[in-house]
Structure 1
Amino acid sequence: MFKQIERAIRNEIVSGRWPCGHRIPPELQMANAYNAARSTVSKAMARLSEAGLVDRKRRQGTTVASPTEAHEVIGYLDVRQEIERKGRRYNYRVLRSRTIKGRSISESWSSIPSETPVLRLDAVHCGFDNPEVLEERYINLDAAPDALGVNFELETPTTWLLMRLPCTRLRHTIRAAVASVEQAKMLGVPEKSIVLISLRQSWAADVPVTFVKLTFPADQNQFVGEFNPPQA
Protein backbone atom coordinates (compact mmCIF):
# COMPACT_ATOMS: atom_id res chain seq x y z
CA MET A 1 0.00 0.00 0.00
CA PHE A 2 2.79 2.44 0.81
CA LYS A 3 4.12 2.06 -2.77
CA GLN A 4 0.73 3.08 -4.13
CA ILE A 5 0.72 6.19 -1.95
CA GLU A 6 4.33 6.97 -2.83
CA ARG A 7 3.55 6.65 -6.54
CA ALA A 8 0.49 8.89 -6.30
CA ILE A 9 2.38 11.66 -4.52
CA ARG A 10 5.36 11.33 -6.85
CA ASN A 11 3.09 11.73 -9.85
CA GLU A 12 1.66 14.94 -8.41
CA ILE A 13 5.20 16.32 -8.01
CA VAL A 14 6.67 15.11 -11.28
CA SER A 15 3.68 16.34 -13.29
CA GLY A 16 4.14 19.83 -11.81
CA ARG A 17 0.68 19.88 -10.24
CA TRP A 18 2.45 20.21 -6.88
CA PRO A 19 5.21 22.79 -7.50
CA CYS A 20 8.23 23.51 -5.31
CA GLY A 21 7.17 24.66 -1.87
CA HIS A 22 3.68 23.16 -2.15
CA ARG A 23 2.51 22.02 1.28
CA ILE A 24 1.59 18.35 1.27
CA PRO A 25 -1.50 17.34 3.30
CA PRO A 26 -0.78 16.05 6.84
CA GLU A 27 -0.10 12.34 7.20
CA LEU A 28 -3.30 11.72 9.16
CA GLN A 29 -5.38 13.41 6.47
CA MET A 30 -3.69 11.35 3.77
CA ALA A 31 -4.14 8.16 5.79
CA ASN A 32 -7.88 8.81 5.88
CA ALA A 33 -7.95 9.63 2.17
CA TYR A 34 -6.18 6.38 1.24
CA ASN A 35 -7.89 4.33 3.95
CA ALA A 36 -4.46 3.35 5.26
CA ALA A 37 -2.59 3.40 8.53
CA ARG A 38 -0.65 6.57 9.32
CA SER A 39 2.54 4.50 9.56
CA THR A 40 2.01 3.42 5.94
CA VAL A 41 1.79 7.05 4.80
CA SER A 42 4.84 7.88 6.91
CA LYS A 43 6.81 5.14 5.17
CA ALA A 44 5.83 6.49 1.76
CA MET A 45 6.85 10.02 2.78
CA ALA A 46 10.18 8.74 4.11
CA ARG A 47 10.94 7.17 0.74
CA LEU A 48 10.06 10.40 -1.07
CA SER A 49 12.27 12.33 1.33
CA GLU A 50 15.19 9.98 0.65
CA ALA A 51 14.69 10.55 -3.07
CA GLY A 52 14.92 14.32 -2.52
CA LEU A 53 11.36 15.00 -3.65
CA VAL A 54 9.96 16.30 -0.38
CA ASP A 55 11.29 18.27 2.56
CA ARG A 56 10.04 17.03 5.95
CA LYS A 57 10.37 19.35 8.93
CA ARG A 58 9.15 18.48 12.37
CA ARG A 59 6.20 20.62 13.48
CA GLN A 60 6.30 22.48 10.15
CA GLY A 61 4.91 19.77 7.91
CA THR A 62 6.08 18.46 4.56
CA THR A 63 6.58 20.45 1.37
CA VAL A 64 7.74 19.68 -2.16
CA ALA A 65 11.51 20.08 -2.13
CA SER A 66 13.28 22.84 -4.01
CA PRO A 67 15.34 21.55 -6.95
CA THR A 68 18.09 24.10 -6.44
CA GLU A 69 19.83 22.04 -3.77
CA ALA A 70 19.86 19.00 -6.03
CA HIS A 71 21.31 20.70 -9.09
CA GLU A 72 23.99 22.50 -7.07
CA VAL A 73 25.25 19.13 -5.91
CA ILE A 74 24.82 17.45 -9.28
CA GLY A 75 26.51 20.30 -11.13
CA TYR A 76 24.50 21.39 -14.13
CA LEU A 77 26.55 23.05 -16.84
CA ASP A 78 25.32 26.65 -17.01
CA VAL A 79 25.98 27.71 -20.61
CA ARG A 80 24.54 31.16 -20.04
CA GLN A 81 26.87 31.78 -17.12
CA GLU A 82 29.88 30.68 -19.16
CA ILE A 83 29.01 33.00 -22.07
CA GLU A 84 28.31 35.98 -19.81
CA ARG A 85 31.54 35.29 -17.90
CA LYS A 86 33.36 36.02 -21.17
CA GLY A 87 31.69 39.44 -21.28
CA ARG A 88 29.23 38.62 -24.04
CA ARG A 89 25.48 39.32 -24.07
CA TYR A 90 23.61 36.01 -23.89
CA ASN A 91 20.50 34.90 -25.71
CA TYR A 92 18.87 31.53 -26.42
CA ARG A 93 17.27 30.97 -29.80
CA VAL A 94 14.93 28.11 -30.73
CA LEU A 95 15.39 27.07 -34.35
CA ARG A 96 12.87 24.23 -34.56
CA SER A 97 10.29 22.66 -32.28
CA ARG A 98 8.21 19.54 -32.91
CA THR A 99 6.56 16.61 -31.15
CA ILE A 100 7.81 13.06 -31.75
CA LYS A 101 7.43 9.62 -30.16
CA GLY A 102 9.98 8.19 -27.74
CA ARG A 103 10.95 5.45 -30.18
CA SER A 104 12.47 8.09 -32.48
CA ILE A 105 15.15 8.86 -29.89
CA SER A 106 15.40 5.47 -28.15
CA GLU A 107 18.91 4.80 -29.49
CA SER A 108 20.27 7.79 -27.56
CA TRP A 109 17.66 8.01 -24.78
CA SER A 110 17.01 4.38 -23.91
CA SER A 111 15.06 5.12 -20.71
CA ILE A 112 12.17 6.84 -22.52
CA PRO A 113 9.20 4.52 -23.36
CA SER A 114 8.66 4.12 -27.11
CA GLU A 115 5.10 5.54 -27.16
CA THR A 116 5.79 8.50 -24.88
CA PRO A 117 5.20 11.91 -26.51
CA VAL A 118 8.43 13.89 -26.61
CA LEU A 119 9.09 17.55 -27.43
CA ARG A 120 12.20 18.02 -29.55
CA LEU A 121 13.92 21.40 -29.57
CA ASP A 122 16.82 22.44 -31.80
CA ALA A 123 18.33 25.61 -30.39
CA VAL A 124 21.49 27.70 -30.08
CA HIS A 125 23.11 29.47 -27.14
CA CYS A 126 24.45 32.79 -28.43
CA GLY A 127 26.93 35.43 -27.34
CA PHE A 128 26.23 38.80 -29.00
CA ASP A 129 23.75 36.90 -31.26
CA ASN A 130 26.50 34.58 -32.57
CA PRO A 131 25.92 30.84 -31.94
CA GLU A 132 28.47 29.45 -29.48
CA VAL A 133 26.80 26.21 -28.36
CA LEU A 134 24.34 24.04 -30.28
CA GLU A 135 21.55 22.32 -28.36
CA GLU A 136 19.43 19.33 -29.30
CA ARG A 137 16.92 18.66 -26.51
CA TYR A 138 14.14 16.17 -25.84
CA ILE A 139 11.53 16.65 -23.10
CA ASN A 140 9.20 13.92 -21.81
CA LEU A 141 5.73 15.43 -22.28
CA ASP A 142 4.13 12.93 -19.91
CA ALA A 143 6.36 14.35 -17.17
CA ALA A 144 6.17 17.99 -18.30
CA PRO A 145 3.03 18.46 -20.46
CA ASP A 146 3.07 22.27 -20.04
CA ALA A 147 6.36 22.43 -21.97
CA LEU A 148 4.35 22.56 -25.20
CA GLY A 149 3.13 26.08 -24.47
CA VAL A 150 6.37 27.58 -23.15
CA ASN A 151 8.40 30.27 -24.92
CA PHE A 152 11.85 28.88 -24.17
CA GLU A 153 13.54 31.93 -25.64
CA LEU A 154 12.37 33.79 -22.51
CA GLU A 155 13.29 31.01 -20.07
CA THR A 156 15.71 28.26 -21.09
CA PRO A 157 14.52 24.63 -20.84
CA THR A 158 17.07 23.80 -18.12
CA THR A 159 15.84 26.62 -15.87
CA TRP A 160 12.17 25.91 -16.59
CA LEU A 161 12.47 22.18 -15.90
CA LEU A 162 14.51 22.54 -12.70
CA MET A 163 11.94 24.93 -11.26
CA ARG A 164 9.22 22.31 -11.72
CA LEU A 165 10.80 18.85 -11.55
CA PRO A 166 13.40 18.15 -8.86
CA CYS A 167 16.33 16.34 -10.48
CA THR A 168 17.22 13.29 -8.40
CA ARG A 169 19.46 11.51 -10.90
CA LEU A 170 21.80 12.71 -13.65
CA ARG A 171 23.92 10.91 -16.22
CA HIS A 172 26.52 13.03 -18.02
CA THR A 173 28.81 11.86 -20.83
CA ILE A 174 31.39 13.96 -22.67
CA ARG A 175 33.06 12.88 -25.89
CA ALA A 176 34.92 14.37 -28.85
CA ALA A 177 33.61 14.28 -32.43
CA VAL A 178 34.23 15.78 -35.85
CA ALA A 179 31.88 18.65 -36.67
CA SER A 180 29.41 18.06 -39.47
CA VAL A 181 29.22 20.60 -42.28
CA GLU A 182 26.07 22.12 -40.74
CA GLN A 183 27.57 22.24 -37.23
CA ALA A 184 30.77 23.86 -38.49
CA LYS A 185 28.80 26.49 -40.39
CA MET A 186 26.58 27.33 -37.43
CA LEU A 187 29.49 27.53 -34.97
CA GLY A 188 31.73 29.46 -37.38
CA VAL A 189 34.56 26.93 -37.28
CA PRO A 190 36.39 25.15 -40.14
CA GLU A 191 34.83 21.99 -41.53
CA LYS A 192 35.98 18.78 -39.82
CA SER A 193 36.94 20.73 -36.70
CA ILE A 194 36.89 18.81 -33.42
CA VAL A 195 33.89 19.54 -31.22
CA LEU A 196 33.05 18.46 -27.68
CA ILE A 197 29.70 16.75 -27.20
CA SER A 198 27.97 16.87 -23.82
CA LEU A 199 25.20 14.26 -23.45
CA ARG A 200 23.00 14.64 -20.37
CA GLN A 201 20.01 12.66 -19.15
CA SER A 202 18.06 13.59 -16.04
CA TRP A 203 15.32 11.98 -13.98
CA ALA A 204 12.81 13.11 -11.34
CA ALA A 205 12.72 10.09 -9.05
CA ASP A 206 12.55 7.23 -11.56
CA VAL A 207 10.81 9.22 -14.31
CA PRO A 208 13.01 10.28 -17.28
CA VAL A 209 12.56 14.02 -17.79
CA THR A 210 14.97 15.26 -20.43
CA PHE A 211 17.84 14.32 -22.70
CA VAL A 212 20.06 17.06 -24.08
CA LYS A 213 23.01 17.12 -26.46
CA LEU A 214 25.24 20.20 -26.38
CA THR A 215 27.93 20.79 -29.01
CA PHE A 216 30.91 23.06 -28.26
CA PRO A 217 33.92 24.06 -30.40
CA ALA A 218 36.75 22.06 -28.78
CA ASP A 219 39.43 24.74 -29.10
CA GLN A 220 37.27 27.31 -27.29
CA ASN A 221 35.98 25.25 -24.36
CA GLN A 222 37.08 22.95 -21.59
CA PHE A 223 35.31 20.92 -18.90
CA VAL A 224 36.65 21.03 -15.36
CA GLY A 225 35.57 18.77 -12.52
CA GLU A 226 36.63 18.95 -8.88
CA PHE A 227 36.19 16.36 -6.17
CA ASN A 228 36.74 17.11 -2.50
CA PRO A 229 36.77 13.90 -0.46
CA PRO A 230 35.64 14.13 3.17
CA GLN A 231 38.48 14.63 5.62
CA ALA A 232 39.24 11.76 7.98
Structure 2
Amino acid sequence: MRVTYKEVKADILAKIVRGDWGPGELVPNEMDLTETYNCARATVNRAMRELADEGIIERRRKAGTRVRETRILQAKFDIPVLRNEIEALNAEYRYSLVSSSVENAPDWLRARLQLPKAADVLHLICMHYADGNPYQYEDRWINLDALPQAREIDFSKLGPNDWLMSEIPYSEAEISFSAALADKEMTEFLECAVGDPIFIVERSTWHAEQAMTYVRLSHKPGHRMTTRY
Protein backbone atom coordinates (compact mmCIF):
# COMPACT_ATOMS: atom_id res chain seq x y z
CA MET A 1 0.00 0.00 0.00
CA ARG A 2 1.34 3.43 -0.98
CA VAL A 3 2.53 5.65 1.87
CA THR A 4 1.06 9.16 1.81
CA TYR A 5 2.88 12.36 2.69
CA LYS A 6 0.50 12.81 5.64
CA GLU A 7 1.63 9.46 7.09
CA VAL A 8 5.28 10.37 6.59
CA LYS A 9 4.72 13.77 8.18
CA ALA A 10 2.85 12.30 11.16
CA ASP A 11 5.58 9.72 11.79
CA ILE A 12 8.38 12.30 11.62
CA LEU A 13 6.42 14.57 13.97
CA ALA A 14 5.86 11.68 16.38
CA LYS A 15 9.61 11.02 16.50
CA ILE A 16 10.27 14.68 17.29
CA VAL A 17 7.56 14.81 19.97
CA ARG A 18 8.90 11.63 21.59
CA GLY A 19 12.39 13.11 21.63
CA ASP A 20 13.94 10.62 19.18
CA TRP A 21 15.28 13.70 17.41
CA GLY A 22 15.86 16.48 19.94
CA PRO A 23 16.04 20.27 19.45
CA GLY A 24 18.93 21.20 17.18
CA GLU A 25 19.49 17.60 16.08
CA LEU A 26 19.95 16.67 12.43
CA VAL A 27 17.05 14.89 10.73
CA PRO A 28 17.91 12.20 8.14
CA ASN A 29 18.11 13.54 4.59
CA GLU A 30 15.36 13.04 2.03
CA MET A 31 17.07 10.11 0.31
CA ASP A 32 17.42 8.21 3.59
CA LEU A 33 13.81 8.98 4.52
CA THR A 34 12.67 7.81 1.09
CA GLU A 35 14.25 4.42 1.80
CA THR A 36 12.88 4.33 5.35
CA TYR A 37 9.28 4.92 4.25
CA ASN A 38 9.61 3.14 0.90
CA CYS A 39 8.00 6.01 -0.95
CA ALA A 40 8.75 8.60 -3.62
CA ARG A 41 11.11 11.45 -2.79
CA ALA A 42 8.34 13.92 -3.66
CA THR A 43 6.26 12.41 -0.86
CA VAL A 44 9.02 12.98 1.68
CA ASN A 45 9.71 16.46 0.30
CA ARG A 46 6.11 17.57 0.78
CA ALA A 47 6.03 16.21 4.34
CA MET A 48 9.26 18.04 5.16
CA ARG A 49 8.09 21.28 3.57
CA GLU A 50 4.93 21.30 5.68
CA LEU A 51 6.89 20.58 8.87
CA ALA A 52 9.21 23.47 8.01
CA ASP A 53 6.26 25.79 7.28
CA GLU A 54 4.78 24.90 10.67
CA GLY A 55 7.99 25.75 12.47
CA ILE A 56 8.90 22.21 13.55
CA ILE A 57 12.08 21.80 11.52
CA GLU A 58 14.56 24.16 9.90
CA ARG A 59 15.93 23.41 6.44
CA ARG A 60 19.19 24.99 5.27
CA ARG A 61 20.89 24.45 1.97
CA LYS A 62 24.09 22.38 2.38
CA ALA A 63 23.62 22.38 6.17
CA GLY A 64 20.84 19.80 6.28
CA THR A 65 17.57 19.75 8.21
CA ARG A 66 17.41 20.14 11.97
CA VAL A 67 14.72 20.14 14.62
CA ARG A 68 14.17 23.74 15.62
CA GLU A 69 15.72 24.77 18.94
CA THR A 70 12.62 26.85 19.68
CA ARG A 71 9.43 25.68 18.06
CA ILE A 72 7.44 28.38 16.33
CA LEU A 73 3.71 28.66 16.93
CA GLN A 74 2.06 29.32 13.60
CA ALA A 75 -1.47 29.83 14.86
CA LYS A 76 -3.57 32.80 13.79
CA PHE A 77 -4.54 33.53 17.39
CA ASP A 78 -2.95 33.36 20.81
CA ILE A 79 -3.95 30.93 23.52
CA PRO A 80 -3.74 33.05 26.68
CA VAL A 81 -1.22 32.31 29.39
CA LEU A 82 -3.33 32.55 32.52
CA ARG A 83 -0.48 33.59 34.80
CA ASN A 84 0.14 36.64 32.58
CA GLU A 85 -3.57 37.42 32.48
CA ILE A 86 -3.87 37.39 36.28
CA GLU A 87 -0.63 39.27 36.91
CA ALA A 88 -1.80 41.94 34.45
CA LEU A 89 -4.62 42.54 36.94
CA ASN A 90 -1.95 43.20 39.61
CA ALA A 91 -2.97 40.01 41.37
CA GLU A 92 -0.87 37.10 42.60
CA TYR A 93 -1.28 33.92 40.56
CA ARG A 94 -1.54 30.47 42.15
CA TYR A 95 -2.14 27.08 40.51
CA SER A 96 -3.38 23.82 42.05
CA LEU A 97 -3.82 20.32 40.61
CA VAL A 98 -7.06 18.78 41.91
CA SER A 99 -6.88 15.35 40.24
CA SER A 100 -5.05 13.42 37.53
CA SER A 101 -6.01 10.07 35.97
CA VAL A 102 -5.44 8.05 32.80
CA GLU A 103 -8.77 6.93 31.35
CA ASN A 104 -10.23 5.40 28.23
CA ALA A 105 -11.65 8.32 26.27
CA PRO A 106 -15.41 8.66 26.90
CA ASP A 107 -17.76 8.49 23.93
CA TRP A 108 -18.47 12.22 23.83
CA LEU A 109 -14.74 13.05 23.74
CA ARG A 110 -13.98 10.45 21.05
CA ALA A 111 -16.73 11.96 18.91
CA ARG A 112 -15.51 15.51 19.48
CA LEU A 113 -11.85 14.80 18.73
CA GLN A 114 -12.37 11.85 16.35
CA LEU A 115 -10.33 9.51 18.52
CA PRO A 116 -10.20 5.71 18.04
CA LYS A 117 -12.28 3.55 20.35
CA ALA A 118 -9.34 2.34 22.45
CA ALA A 119 -7.76 5.79 22.87
CA ASP A 120 -6.32 6.61 26.30
CA VAL A 121 -6.44 10.17 27.59
CA LEU A 122 -5.00 11.98 30.57
CA HIS A 123 -7.79 13.69 32.51
CA LEU A 124 -6.71 16.67 34.64
CA ILE A 125 -8.76 18.87 36.94
CA CYS A 126 -6.98 22.08 37.92
CA MET A 127 -7.72 25.32 39.73
CA HIS A 128 -6.26 28.76 39.11
CA TYR A 129 -6.42 31.57 41.67
CA ALA A 130 -5.95 35.35 41.74
CA ASP A 131 -4.91 36.70 45.14
CA GLY A 132 -6.17 33.46 46.68
CA ASN A 133 -9.63 33.77 45.12
CA PRO A 134 -10.96 31.24 42.57
CA TYR A 135 -10.39 32.52 39.03
CA GLN A 136 -10.71 29.52 36.71
CA TYR A 137 -11.69 25.85 36.96
CA GLU A 138 -9.90 23.77 34.28
CA ASP A 139 -11.21 20.40 33.12
CA ARG A 140 -8.67 19.10 30.56
CA TRP A 141 -8.23 15.95 28.48
CA ILE A 142 -4.92 15.20 26.69
CA ASN A 143 -4.71 12.63 23.87
CA LEU A 144 -1.96 10.21 24.94
CA ASP A 145 -1.62 8.73 21.46
CA ALA A 146 -0.43 12.15 20.30
CA LEU A 147 1.43 13.15 23.48
CA PRO A 148 2.52 9.96 25.30
CA GLN A 149 5.14 11.88 27.30
CA ALA A 150 2.32 13.60 29.22
CA ARG A 151 2.11 10.45 31.37
CA GLU A 152 5.45 11.33 32.95
CA ILE A 153 4.87 15.03 33.63
CA ASP A 154 4.29 16.18 37.21
CA PHE A 155 1.30 18.45 36.70
CA SER A 156 1.19 19.27 40.39
CA LYS A 157 4.09 21.65 39.67
CA LEU A 158 3.36 22.71 36.08
CA GLY A 159 0.01 23.69 34.58
CA PRO A 160 -1.02 21.66 31.51
CA ASN A 161 -1.55 24.72 29.32
CA ASP A 162 1.97 26.00 30.03
CA TRP A 163 3.40 22.55 29.28
CA LEU A 164 1.42 22.11 26.06
CA MET A 165 2.45 25.50 24.70
CA SER A 166 6.13 24.72 25.30
CA GLU A 167 5.89 21.13 24.04
CA ILE A 168 4.18 21.30 20.66
CA PRO A 169 2.64 23.92 18.35
CA TYR A 170 -0.96 23.73 17.26
CA SER A 171 -2.19 24.26 13.72
CA GLU A 172 -5.94 24.30 14.27
CA ALA A 173 -8.25 25.15 17.14
CA GLU A 174 -11.98 25.22 17.81
CA ILE A 175 -13.26 27.54 20.53
CA SER A 176 -16.79 28.04 21.82
CA PHE A 177 -18.23 30.32 24.51
CA SER A 178 -21.36 29.69 26.54
CA ALA A 179 -23.08 30.26 29.87
CA ALA A 180 -24.19 27.59 32.32
CA LEU A 181 -25.69 27.34 35.78
CA ALA A 182 -23.39 26.30 38.58
CA ASP A 183 -24.08 22.88 40.09
CA LYS A 184 -23.15 21.85 43.62
CA GLU A 185 -19.68 20.56 42.64
CA MET A 186 -18.83 23.78 40.81
CA THR A 187 -19.91 25.95 43.76
CA GLU A 188 -17.26 24.27 45.90
CA PHE A 189 -14.50 25.25 43.48
CA LEU A 190 -15.68 28.69 42.34
CA GLU A 191 -17.22 29.79 45.66
CA CYS A 192 -20.57 30.71 44.15
CA ALA A 193 -24.16 29.58 44.75
CA VAL A 194 -26.02 26.75 43.04
CA GLY A 195 -27.75 28.17 39.97
CA ASP A 196 -25.41 31.14 39.60
CA PRO A 197 -24.47 31.84 35.96
CA ILE A 198 -20.89 30.86 35.10
CA PHE A 199 -18.93 31.67 31.95
CA ILE A 200 -17.63 28.67 29.96
CA VAL A 201 -14.87 28.49 27.35
CA GLU A 202 -14.36 25.18 25.49
CA ARG A 203 -11.26 24.70 23.34
CA SER A 204 -10.03 21.80 21.21
CA THR A 205 -6.65 21.87 19.48
CA TRP A 206 -5.04 19.82 16.71
CA HIS A 207 -1.62 19.60 15.14
CA ALA A 208 -0.97 17.99 11.74
CA GLU A 209 -4.60 16.80 11.78
CA GLN A 210 -4.07 14.92 15.05
CA ALA A 211 -6.11 15.88 18.12
CA MET A 212 -3.99 17.17 20.99
CA THR A 213 -6.33 18.27 23.76
CA TYR A 214 -9.80 19.37 24.80
CA VAL A 215 -10.38 21.72 27.73
CA ARG A 216 -13.44 23.21 29.41
CA LEU A 217 -12.70 26.37 31.40
CA SER A 218 -15.26 27.65 33.92
CA HIS A 219 -15.26 31.12 35.49
CA LYS A 220 -17.25 32.47 38.43
CA PRO A 221 -20.06 35.06 38.04
CA GLY A 222 -18.81 38.47 36.96
CA HIS A 223 -15.91 37.20 34.85
CA ARG A 224 -15.12 39.41 31.88
CA MET A 225 -13.26 38.35 28.74
CA THR A 226 -11.73 40.91 26.37
CA THR A 227 -10.29 40.08 22.94
CA ARG A 228 -8.40 42.21 20.45
CA TYR A 229 -8.34 41.70 16.67
Q: What is the TM-score of this pair, normalised by structure 2? A: 0.84
Of 217, 222, 227, which residue of structure 2 is paired with 1:219?
222
State the SS of the aligned residue for 2:51.
Answer: helix
* Structure 1: tracts of 5 or more residues without a match: 227-232
Of 57, 74, 77, which residue of structure 2 is paired with 1:74?
77
Give the C-alpha shift of residue 149 in structure 1.
2.1
* 1:100 to 2:109 alignment: no
Give the C-alpha shift of residue 21 in structure 1.
4.4
Alignment-derived partner of residue 185 in structure 1 = 188
Give the C-alpha shift of residue 15 in structure 1.
4.0
State how 1:75-224 maps to structure 2 within 5 Å.
Answer: 75-106=78-109, 109-224=112-227
Inter-partner Cα distance in structure 2 for 1:169 and 1:155: 24
Greater Cα shift, 104-113 or 162-171: 104-113
Query: What is the Cα-based RMSD across aligned positions, in Å?
Result: 2.6
Kindly tell me: are residues 186 and 33 of structure 1, through their superposed partners in 2, closer, same or farther at Cα, counting changes over 3 Å?
A: closer
Contact residue 134 and residue 189 of structure 2 kept, 8 A: yes
Kindly tell me: are residues 93 and 9 of structure 1, through their superposed partners in 2, closer, same or farther at Cα, counting changes over 3 Å?
A: same
Inter-partner Cα distance in structure 1 for 2:39 and 2:94: 51
Contact residue 124 and residue 133 of structure 1 kept, 8 A: yes
Contact residue 15 and residue 142 of structure 1 kept, 8 A: no
Inter-partner Cα distance in structure 1 for 2:8 and 2:113: 27
Inter-partner Cα distance in structure 1 for 2:23 and 2:183: 41
Kindly tell me: are residues 107 and 142 of structure 1, through their superposed partners in 2, closer, same or farther at Cα, counting changes over 3 Å?
A: closer
What is the one-letter code of the residue matched to 2:26?
R
Kindly tell me: are residues 92 and 108 of structure 1, through their superposed partners in 2, closer, same or farther at Cα, counting changes over 3 Å?
A: farther
Contact residue 18 and residue 149 of structure 2 kept, 8 A: no
Inter-partner Cα distance in structure 1 for 2:106 and 2:115: 8
State the SS of the aligned residue for 1:62.
Answer: strand
State the SS of the aligned residue for 1:155.
Answer: coil
* Structure 2: tracts of 5 or more residues without a match: none
State the SS of the aligned residue for 2:96.
Answer: strand
Kindly tell me: are residues 202 and 224 of structure 1, through their superposed partners in 2, closer, same or farther at Cα, counting changes over 3 Å?
A: same
Give the C-alpha shift of residue 67 in structure 1.
4.1
The sequence identity of aligned pairs, in percent, is 28
Contact residue 182 and residue 195 of structure 2 kept, 8 A: yes
Kindly tell me: are residues 109 and 225 of structure 1, through their superposed partners in 2, closer, same or farther at Cα, counting changes over 3 Å?
A: farther
State the SS of the aligned residue for 2:192.
Answer: coil
State the SS of the aligned residue for 1:220.
Answer: coil
What is the one-letter code of the residue matched to 2:96?
R
Give the C-alpha shift of residue 51 in structure 1.
4.9
Contact residue 96 and residue 156 of structure 2 kept, 8 A: yes
Alignment-derived partner of residue 44 in structure 1 = 47
Inter-partner Cα distance in structure 1 for 2:37 and 2:207: 24
Inter-partner Cα distance in structure 2 for 1:39 and 1:224: 42
